[in-house]
């Protein structure tokens, strides 16, 4: 998740202060991704360094700027300290537009911990890989049920939260489907005489196979 681009998106609506950005970030993302206010200020400083945002002015506590409740102890907007507002620049707007339209790099399979556990379980002597798969499947189903309950309890007014829940349910469902497919593939392979101790026969070197699916080295 790109916090810097999320902050640029919020600033595209107008100048804002650090703690205000944190509160709006959490509200816009369904309040499922907590954001530390220190990370907000650090990101803003980097964005300012890169010319993507600029100071929009400062105001003392109780002045014409952000109300005192938007101050954060220990942060640049702490009580008694000048509060600094930020605004997006033209390069910042261009960067935000570019980021929104550029697809994330999905050509390379991520180093998913669950996938790694299944791959490793296949090679560990005395390990029932099917039992391992079912244990993880049970846990994922429980997670899906929890998310489904949250979805049912929501009145639908928080669209951001509904989108996050939908995304999480689809993601978990895809992992469950992969586990089912992996379990079935391993059973079929065993029926064909494959054993866990048998070394895999590669039709071509791994780097060449990765190049064929667009994996970056």
Using one digit for the tens of pLDDT, what is the confidence trace for 45-62?
A: 999 999 999 998 655 444
pLDDT band at 150 (very low <50, low <70, confident <90, very high): confident
With a cut of 50, say whether residue 74 has pLDDT above it. Answer: no
For the ranges 13-17, 30-34, 72-76, 104-108, the one whose mean pLDDT is highest: 13-17
Mean predicted confidence (pLDDT) in 172-193: 94
Work out the pLDDT band at 6, boundaries 50, 70, 90.
very high
pLDDT of residue 49: 95
Mean pLDDT of the chain: 81
The answer to whether 22 touches 67, Cβ cutoff 8 Å, is no
Q: Per-residue pLDDT averaged across 90-110, rounded?
A: 88
Backbone angles phi, psi at 53, to 5 degrees: -135, 165
pTM value is 0.62
Q: What is the mean pLDDT of residues 130-149?
A: 95
Are 52 and 12 in contact, with CB atoms under 8 Å apart? no
CATH of 3-101, one of 1.10.10.10, 3.40.50.10420, 3.40.50.2300, 3.40.50.1950: 1.10.10.10
What is the length of the chain? 217
Q: Is 111 exposed, middle or buried (0-12, 13-18, 19+ CB in 10 A)?
A: exposed
Question: Among all chains, which residue has been given the structure tokens 């938007």?
Answer: 70
User: Which tokens in the block code for residue 210?
Assistant: 């990765």
Phi-psi region of 198 (alpha: psi -120 to 50; beta: other; left: phi over 0): beta
Q: Residue 152: pLDDT above 90?
A: no
Q: How many CA atoms lie within 13 A of 51 on its CB side?
A: 4
Gap between the terminal Cα atoms of the chain: 22
Contact call for residues 24 and 10 (beta carbons, < 8 A): yes
Note the pLDDT of residue 61.
Answer: 42
Q: How confident is residue 209, by pLDDT bands cut at 50, 70 and 90? A: low
For residue 129, give the 3-state DSSP assignment.
Answer: helix
For the chain, the helix, strand and coil percentages under 3-state DSSP, each to the nearest 5: 55, 5, 35
Q: Can you give the pLDDT at residue 72?
A: 44
């Amino acid at each position: 998740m790109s916090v810097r681009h999320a902050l640029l998106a919020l600033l595209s609506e107008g100048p804002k202060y650090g703690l205000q950005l944190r509160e709006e970030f959490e509200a816009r993302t369904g309040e499922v991704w907590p954001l530390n206010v220190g990370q907000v200020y650090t990101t803003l400083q980097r964005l300012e360094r890169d010319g993507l945002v600029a100071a929009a002015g400062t105001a003392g506590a109780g002045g014409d700027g952000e109300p005192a409740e938007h101050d954060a102890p220990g942060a640049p907007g702490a009580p008694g300290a000048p509060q600094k507002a930020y605004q997006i620049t033209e390069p910042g707007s261009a960067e935000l537009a570019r980021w929104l339209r550029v697809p994330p790099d999905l050509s390379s399979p991520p180093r998913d911990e669950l996938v790694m556990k299944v791959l490793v379980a296949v090679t560990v002597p005395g390990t029932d890989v099917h039992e391992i798969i079912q244990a993880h499947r049970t846990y994922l189903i429980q997670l899906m049920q929890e998310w489904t309950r949250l979805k049912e309890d929501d009145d639908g007014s928080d669209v951001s939260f509904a989108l996050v829940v939908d995304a999480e349910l689809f993601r978990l469902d895809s992992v469950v489907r992969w586990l089912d497919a992996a379990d079935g593939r391993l059973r079929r392979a065993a029926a064909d005489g494959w054993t866990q101790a048998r070394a895999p026969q590669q039709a071509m070197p791994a780097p060449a196979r990765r190049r064929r699916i667009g994996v970056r080295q």
